[in-house]
Chains A and B, each alone.
Chain A
Amino acid sequence: MTAVVTAHGVTKRFGDVTALDDVSFALAEHTIYGLLGRNGAGKTTLMQILTGQAFASSGKVSVFDAPPVENPAVLSKVCFVRESQRYPHVYTVRHVFRTARRLFANWDDTFAHGLAADFQLPAGRLVRKLSRGMLSALGVTVGLAARAPLTFFDEPYLGLDPAARQLFYDRLLADYAEYPRTVVLSTHLIDEVSDLIERVLLIDRGRLLLDEDADDLRGRAVAATGPAEAVDGFVAGRTELHRERLSGLVRSTILDGLGPHAKAHAKALNVELEPLSLQQLVVGLTAPPTTTAPADREAAR
C-alpha cells in the first residue's frame, strides 16, 4: 500500500484535556475513508493536525512522505474543507472561486461553476450572507473542484437538506471514479455514507477504536433477540455491547463476526439474529455505559 498519510502516536493535549491519545494509522492512496466518532471525539483536531493547521503535542505525522506543517510541497496536494471555515468579510462566492483557482493546482473552474449551479449558489452573494446550508455547499464545491490528492471533508453536510446531501454524494462518487484520490469524510450521518466509504476510522474520546474495512464491519454487530435464558446461552463467550429487556424478551447487541456455526447455534436456541447497520455498530461502541430500560429497573426492584 502506498501510504499517503502515516500517523504515529499522535497525541494532543489542551491543558489537562487529552483530545487525542496515542493515535496511529495509515491512509492509503485512492481510497475513501469514513472518519467517525461522537462530537468532541477528536475528529476535527486530528484533521487539523494532519493538514498542518494545528500542532500535535507529541507523535509523528507524515503526509506524502513529509511532515505537513509549513510544508508547501505537501500542502499544495491537500484540501481541508472545514466545518467552521472563516471567510474574509468582503468575499463573495466568486472571490472564493477565484482565489481557489490561483491556489489549487488541480482546480477545475468549469466543474466548480457546475456544482455551484447544482447547489444553487449565487456567485455574486457575499459569503457572510450565505445560509448555513449554502456555506456547506460552498465548502463542498471547493473541496470537490480542487481535486487535491488528499481531501478532507469535515461534517460537510451541515445545513444541507437530504436532496443536497445526495447531490454531494453523487458528485463525489462520480468525480472520485474519474479522478481517484484519497478522501476522508468525517460525518455523523453514517448510514448515508456507509456504501461510499471503503474503510472506517472510529475515534472515541481521543482513542482510535476501529481502523477496518467497511465491508468487514457490515453485519459485525448483531442484535440477538429471544427469551432471556436462550439469549444468555447464545451470548456466552461473545462480546456483548448492550442489553435491553421487555417483559420476558431480551435483546442483546453483540460484537462478533458471525460464522455459519453461530447462525445454526442461534436457530437451535430459538434466538433471532438481526444484523445491525454500521451506524448502529458505531453507536453501540461509542454510547455511554448501558442505561437500564424502565422495564429492567422495574424487574430490578
Chain B
Amino acid sequence: MNRIGQVARLQMPAWPQILGWTWGMTAVTFGINLLAFMANYDPGDGVRNTGGLISLYGIAIGMATISVNQIFPYALGMSVTRREFYLAWSLLAVVQSVVYALVLCLLRAVEQATGYWGMGMRYFGLPFMDDANPVLLLLGYAVPMLVVTHLGILLGTLYLRWGTTGVLTGLTLTFTALGLAAALITWTRQWHAIGRWLLDQSPAALLAGWPVLVAAAFAVGGYRLIRRATA
C-alpha cells in the first residue's frame, strides 16, 4: 500500500493546478449564477434551484483525463507498473471525491446559513438533501464525483491507447448506444416502467448505490485498457 501511496504522490505537484482550475471555474460559474439571480431577484419567489453545480462535476472529468495523460508516460518511465498506476489513480479518485464532498457539505451549510445567499439561490444543495442524514449527504456528493472521475480516467486511458481517434470513436459509440437504447425503450414503451422503478428507489440507492456500480464499470474498463497501453 505504501508503494501505491508513493505512486499516487506523482500527482502532487499538479494539485495547485487541479484545485485552482476546478474550484476557480466553480467560483466563476457560481458568480455568474449569482449575478443572474441578483438581476431577477424577487423576494416572493422563494427558493429556486440552479443546476450550476453540475459544472464542477464536468470539470472533474477533464481534470482526471488530463492527469492520466500527463503522468502515465512519466510513471512508466519511473519503472512503475500499469497496475500500480491504476490503483494509485483509483485511490486518488476516492480521496478527491471525499474531500470535494466535504467541501461541498461545508458550502451547502454556508448556503443554508445565509438564506441561500440572500436571494433564494440554491446552488450547492439539492432539494431532497434537506431531509438527509450527514452520511447520505456526503455520499450524495461523493459518489457522483467518483463516477465522473473514473469516467475521466477511462477517457484518459482511451486516449493513451488510441489517441484522439480513440476518444472520439468511444464517445460516438457511447452516444450511439445510448441513443439506440432510448429508441428501444420508446419503441417498447418502457419509459413508464423505468420512471416508476426510479421513483421506487430510495435517494440512497439512486445517489450512492447504483452509481457505485457505474463507477466500478468505468474503473474496470479503464484498467483493461491501460493494461496494454504504452507511453
Do A and B share a direct contact in the complex (Cβ within 8 angstroms)? Answer: yes
- Tell me the minimal C-beta distance from B82 to chain A in angstroms: 6
Interface residues of A in 238-265 (CB under 8 A from B): none
- Whether A72 pairs with B3 at a CB distance below 8 angstroms is yes
Asked if A25 is at the interface of the complex by the 8 Å CB criterion, the answer is no
Interface positions of A from 44 to 78, Cβ below 8 Å from B: 48, 51-55, 70-72, 75-76, 78
Are B10 and A76 within 8 A (Cβ)? Answer: no
Segment at the interface with A among B22-30, B72-80, B112-120, B210-218? B72-80
- In the bound complex, CA of A76 to CA of B231 (Å): 18
Contact with B79, one of A54, A76, A95 (Cβ below 8 angstroms): A76
Within 8 A of A (CB), among B175-231: 227-228, 230-231
Contact partners of B228 in chain A: CB under 8 A: 55
Query: Would you call the interface of chain B mostly helix, strand, loop, or mixed?
Result: helix
Number of A-B contacts (CB under 8 A): 64
Total interface residues on B, using CB and 8 Å? 26
Residues in A with CB closer than 8 Å to B16 are: 90
Interface residues of B in 37-90 (CB under 8 A from A): 70-71, 73-74, 76-84
Cβ A103 vs Cβ B80 within 8 A: yes
A88 within 8 A of partner (CB): yes
- Out of A78, A79, A88, A92, which one reaches B74, CB within 8 Å? A88
Contact of A53 with B76 in the complex, beta carbons under 8 Å? yes
B164 at the interface (CB under 8 A from A): no
* Contact partners of A54 in chain B: CB under 8 A: 230
Q: Give the contacting residue for A75; candidates B74, B79, B230; CB below 8 A.
A: B79
Point out the residue from B10, B14, B71, B82 that lies within 8 Å of A70, measured CB to CB. B82
| Interface presence of A129 (CB below 8 A) | no
Pairwise interchain contact A70-B9, C-beta atoms closer than 8 A:
no
Q: Which residues of the partner chain A approach B231 to less than 8 Å between Cβ atoms?
A: 53, 86
The answer to whether the Cβ of B142 comes within 8 Å of any Cβ in the partner chain is no
| B residues apposed to A, CB below 8 Å | 3, 6-7, 9-10, 13-14, 16-17, 70-71, 73-74, 76-84, 227-228, 230-231
**Chain A positions near chain B (C-beta within 8 angstroms):** 48, 51-55, 70-72, 75-76, 78-80, 82, 85-92, 95, 99-100, 102-104, 148
What are the nearest 5 A-B pairs in CB distance?
A: A86-B73, A102-B6, A75-B79, A88-B70, A95-B13
